[in-house]
Amino acid sequence: MGTIIIKDPRSLAITPLNFENFVFPSPAPFVKDSKNPTIRSNDLLMLFFSFLALLILP
For 1-55, what is each residue's pLDDT tens digit?
444 444 445 544 544 444 444 454 445 555 554 555 555 566 777 777 777 777 7
DSSP state of 35: S
Q: Are 44 and 23 spatial neighbours (Cβ–Cβ below 8 Å)?
A: yes
Spatial separation of the C-alpha atoms in residues 44 and 24, rounded to whole Å: 8
Q: What is the predicted pLDDT for the residue at 36? A: 52
Which residues in 5-18 are b (16+ Cβ under 10 Å) and which e?
eeeeeeeeeeeeee
- DSSP state, 34? S
- Rounded Cα gap, residues 45 and 20, in angstroms: 15
